[in-house]
Amino acid sequence: MEEFAERQYEYIDKLREMIAQRSADLGRAMTACVVTFGCQMNARDSEKLTGILREAGFVMTEDENADFVIYNTCTIRDNANQKVYGRLGVLNGYKKKNPQMKIAMCGCMPQEEKVIAKLKESYPFVDLVFGTHNLYRFAELLYETYQRPKGMLVEIWQKEGEIVEELPVERKYSFKSGINIMFGCNNFCTYCIVPYVRGRERSRDPREILQEIERLVQDGVVEIMLLGQNVNSYGKNLEGGISFAELLREVEKVEGLKRIRFMTSHPKDLSDELIRVMKESKKICRHLHLPLQSGSNRILKAMNRGYTKERYLEVAEKLRREIPDIAITTDIIVGFPGETPEDVQETIDVIRKVQYDNAFTFIYSPRTGTPAASMEQVPEEQVHREFDLVLKCVQDTARAQVGRYEGQVMEALVEEVNDGGNAPEALKELSASEGEVLLTGRLSNNTIVHFPGRADQVGSLIMVRLKECHGFYYLGNQEE
């Protein structure tokens, strides 16, 4: 896809000239802000947007009162949409004070026709709108936006475009990175809008993936996360039929790479081969995110999940048996149309049997355009009552699971200096010696640990003794 990338680099050059001139006219550098809503794939897309903006000459800022602001949106739940609309209202106030300001929106929200209609009617001050399939054309679209006297430029593709990854990327972390290995989803769960806004499954060429990983490792990356809506089905649309397990074997061979993560895994596609590769690997992290959604076979069928409660438990049991130190996390939806208290008890039964290390528990949110939105909804009072039961069960079992490592020495990747801004109360118990700061690291099993150390250790793999478990995180000390 070199010709597509070359065209975008031409537009980056044009943008750079234009931004330099505008900055000179203003007497200051033009600023840009990228705001991300949603999943890791959105976060990875935002790194691409940031890389292009910086290459074009913008100075990046986290202040939304900037010369250019782009919202990279998520539409998995309606409240995510409402949050974006509220934030757009704030941007309108900024734009009235700075008429030269440009506002853009991309990601999953614009792939919905009703969103475009609402933007045109209620938010006409937005200058640029594009979707998930043409993100690689960002530089070209931004240049066209600046060439227009006024009005909203909308480019939404309903069909999947080319996979173009050879563009500038500004990584949030120097030592770890996400990598898209596939795009789209073919599962069509009845509650989910993703297949409609992200399109059908498309896997990247494994050679391109490995080359990208090698470049990242040369640039100092020690941990990578392979990203896809359902990584377990990777390769099904490729000639040669490489499986996800086979891809992992090749990634493991990359010299200098220390850790491999991936998400998300669909239970119906999790193979014995993948479990075997994880068991034998020295680099794949001991963590698997395996969304359950519901423990009721009746609800699973209505959700079109493609597996039963019994099949899910069989997979989870095999994971625990083959990889005893693995952490299993999950997603659970409460309040799916037609769900009864008896169905929720089936879900609680799975939680108790699997003993999750953590679970992201959601109240069902109808998404217009999905089959579940037209089904009979559960009374709100019942949903909240059942949600509280599920959440309590998750918290009780997860504390026991996470706490089983107390006293052990484990390897942590130091991710940041904890400045105390969002620090849990228990961190006040940690004392740092002179010249030390409080660090936050992540274990292979995805558990967070806070401990004293030096700021220059960020990005390093450090052996840490896990002294005290505080629910979902540890306090510790570096082991000599």
All domains of the chain in start order, with CATH: 2-155 (3.40.50.280), 176-403 (3.80.30.20), 409-478 (no CATH)
Mean pLDDT of 359-378: 91
Give the confidence band of 387 by pLDDT, cuts at 50, 70, 90: very high
Q: What is the pLDDT of residue 44?
A: 86
* Residue 425 CB-density burial (10 A; 0-12 exposed, 13-18 middle, 19+ buried): exposed
Q: Which residues lie closer than 8 Å to 422 by C-beta, 6 or more apart? A: none
**Residue 156 has what pLDDT?**
83
Report pLDDT digits (tens) over 134-190.
Answer: 888 999 999 999 998 788 999 887 665 555 566 667 778 899 999 999 988 899 999
Distance of CA 68 to the CA centre of its chain: 24
Question: What is the tens place of the pLDDT at every residue in 276-334?
Answer: 999 999 999 999 999 999 999 999 999 999 999 999 999 999 999 999 999 999 999 99
Share of the chain above pLDDT 90, in %: 73
Q: What is the pTM for the complete model shown?
A: 0.81
Give the CB-side neighbour count of residue 428, counting CA atoms within 13 A: 4
187-204 residue pLDDT tens: 999 999 888 877 888 899
Confidence check: pLDDT of 347 > 90: yes
Phi then psi for residue 292, to 5 deg, are: -90, -50
Q: How far apart are CA 201 and CA 4, in angstroms?
A: 21
Residue-wise pLDDT tens digits, 457-477 = 999 999 999 999 998 899 999
Mean pLDDT of the chain: 91
pLDDT at 171: 78
* Radius of gyration for the alpha carbons in the chain, expressed in angstroms and rounded: 23
pLDDT tens sequence across 43-81: 888 999 999 999 999 999 999 999 999 999 987 777 778
For residue range 404-422, what is the model confidence (pLDDT) as tens digits? Answer: 999 999 999 999 998 765 5
Q: Where are the beta strands (DSSP E) in 18-123?
A: 31-36, 59-60, 68-73, 102-107
User: In this structure, what token pair is assigned to residue 69?
Assistant: 């602001």
pLDDT, position 421 = 56
Position 81 scores a pLDDT of 83
